[in-house]
Structure 1
Amino acid sequence: MSSLVVAEGDTIVIEPTFGSRQVVLLEPAFMSGSGEATIEGRRICVMGDEKRVELQAEYSIPGYSPGAGIVSVEILDGSQMAPCVSSGAPLILMGQQFTARFTPTVPAVMSSPPNTPDLMEPGIGRGRFVTQQVFVAAA
């Protein structure tokens, strides 16, 4: 089954739930492309571009003051990779959902005594790409 090709400027949507944490991005999230080909003047995204995604976020846990951290793409789903290309790196496709990682940088702190900070361990969530173009697809 074919899926739309992701290009520079396409939107990244992150689901808010990372375990017990509710994560909110601080700004809109877009992909950056490094492929040689373009779609509507925008570079296509190839494998490795997802590793450059680092999104600033705040998070909350009931009973805690807010904390902060970074959301990144942990691993793409198999439906989000076009392994057969004639040259260069495999393309990134819209596909299903990728695995996202939230890494706290400033811990949330329990609101009442003993004012315990949240553990600084990463959490796992989900995300997806939303393409602007609707006509270039790959399998």
Structure 2
Amino acid sequence: MSSPVVVDGTVVVFEPMFGQRQVVLSEPAGMSGSGEATIDQRRVCVVGDEKRVQCQAQYFIPGYAPGTGIVSVETLDGSQMAPCVTSGAPLILMGQKLVARFTPTVPAIMSSPPNSPDSMAPSMGHGCFLPQQTLVSVG
């Protein structure tokens, strides 16, 4: 089954749950393409471009005052990388679900005694790409 190539400006949608944390982005997350080729005047995204996605977010845990953190792409799923490449880095494809990471920067605080903070340990979640072009697919 073919999958559209991800291009500059493609939106990354993150599922809201990262373990017990419900995460809400402060603004939409977008990909920035660095590939040499273009599709409809947008640079294609190549493996490695996903590492530049970082978004500020607020997070919620029942019984805690909200905290803040950063959502990033941890890894792409195998279905999100072009299976064959003749030169340069593989293209990123829409594919299935990517693995995302939420890293707290300001912990949520328990709202009643002992008013302890949430752990600063990262938690994992998932996301996907919303296709911005349908002219070129690979697979």
- Please report the TM-score for the alignment, with normalisation by the length of structure 2: 0.98
Q: State how far apart, in whole Å, the 2-side matches of 1:83 and 1:96 are.
A: 14
Amino acid in the other structure paired with 2:35 = G
Deviation (angstroms), 1:134: 1.0
Q: Secondary structure at the match of 1:91?
A: coil
**CA–CA separation in structure 2 for the residues paired with 1:95 and 1:44:** 15
Q: CA RMSD in A?
A: 0.7
Aligned match of 1:62: 62
Residue equivalent to 2:38: 38
CA–CA separation in structure 1 for the residues paired with 2:50 and 2:75: 8
- Equivalent residue number for residue 97 of structure 1: 97
In 2: Cα distance, 1:116 partner to 1:79 partner:
41
Query: Is structure 2 residue 127 aligned with structure 1 residue 122?
Result: no
CA distance in 1, matches of 2:86, 2:19: 40
Q: CA deviation at 1:67?
A: 0.3
> How far 1:83 sits from its partner (Å)?
3.2
- Offset of 1:116 from its aligned partner? 0.4
Q: CA deviation at 1:13?
A: 0.2
Matched-pair contact (CA < 8 Å) for 2:29–2:54: no
The one-letter amino acid paired with 1:136 is V
Letter in 1 for 2:16: P
Please show how residues 1-139 of structure 1 align to structure 2 within 5 Å.
1-139=1-139
Q: TM-score, normalised by structure 1?
A: 0.98
Structure 2's unaligned 5+ residue stretches are none
Aligned equivalents of 1:83, 1:51: Cα separation in 2: 20
Deviation string for 1:56-106 (max 9, x for gaps)? 100000000000000011110010000312211100000000000000000
Quote the offset at 1:2 in angstroms: 1.4
Query: Could you say what secondary structure the match of 2:110 adopts?
Result: coil
Aligned-partner Cα distance in 2 for 1:66–1:98: 26
Q: How far did 1:127 drift?
A: 0.2
